[in-house]
Structure 1
Amino acid sequence: MPINRKLRKLTEDGVASSNTEPLGDKLLLEEFKILRGEIELRASEQRGMERNVILIAAAIYGFLLTPKGTIQVFDAPFSDLAWYLPPVFSFLALVRWKESVKMIEALAAYLMTVEERILPAGGWEVFLEKQRRKDHLPITSGWYAVFWIATVVGPLVVAYVRHPASIKDVTETAILIGVLASVAVGLFVVRTWKPAKEET
């Protein structure tokens, strides 16, 4: 009996050790599929946010520009401040969009290490990284900056013109707000983010 138990244990250990690497590769493959799906989900979510920002702004402007009857004195301030809702919603969407970009880059960096381990020549993420180093396929292009500047800064300037503060020259102030906000949004969007490198 002791000999049989010993032989059985050696056999089980041998099978376990022989299946360790295939099992690890299988787990990596499943993890790769899940994380790739996470990237696709976040990319789809980003496109949805971009679309929803425009739809929400259009709905709010449509409501505000629709002729109305006599507005009560109590409701007048809310009607004026409602012009600031589109830029507020757009900015919140921009923050969420930027956070999603950072997570996509982190996921892509990890998947690239998995590809390099399984595929000596690398896969899609390795190819993308090489192209980004050549400035061919940046994560955030200038068109994203144009889009978010238009959806955040444009409504902000419109809101200020419709409901200006107690300043004499409204035009100059609106232009100043537009320029400063455009620079801020542009830097926020285009600014590159890279995961911290491991210490050697």
Structure 2
Amino acid sequence: MTANKTLADLAQVTEMKTRDDVVLSVRPAYAEDTAALEAFFDAVSDDDRRFRFLTAVRHVGTDQITPLTHVDHWRTESFVAFDQATGELVASAMLACDARMDTGEIAVSIRRDYRGRGLGWTLLDLLASEAKRRGLKRVISIEDRDNHAAIELEREKGFDAHGVDGDPHLIMLEKRFVD
């Protein structure tokens, strides 16, 4: 345990099992995860990296990683998911809430060799649960229209699709929570 970690931090590790029986250890991301996240995003497909950051970038550097590792853990939460069998970082998920704590934007990235194994489903469930726990009314995801896999997954999870005014290349997917 590092000096910055407390026993309470360790208690925040959640074990989750995907539909393909991958057992994940999921916890909030911290500054100490910067190097691991940089390496993780190098192992994400070029298209998935482009879809996550909405720009073509070969390497996700410290400037893009810092917003994932320096969060307040309430209004914004960034999760890292490790394959329990290997200890490797295999996914990243983020929930960023607006100032009114009404809407949260979500984003998920999966390492290319773990795609299609249920991690996306599992992490979307986690993000929805966290959004409800924080009292949000809805979550949204902004997707490139070419990101067919994410759009299909989110629709299967109850998200409705809407166009984005002024940008024909993007689509907003929205999931509202019933009181």
Per the normalisation by structure 1, the TM-score is 0.25
Rg larger for: 1
Per the normalisation by structure 2, the TM-score is 0.27
Question: Higher strand share goes to which structure?
Answer: 2
Question: Higher helix share goes to which structure?
Answer: 1
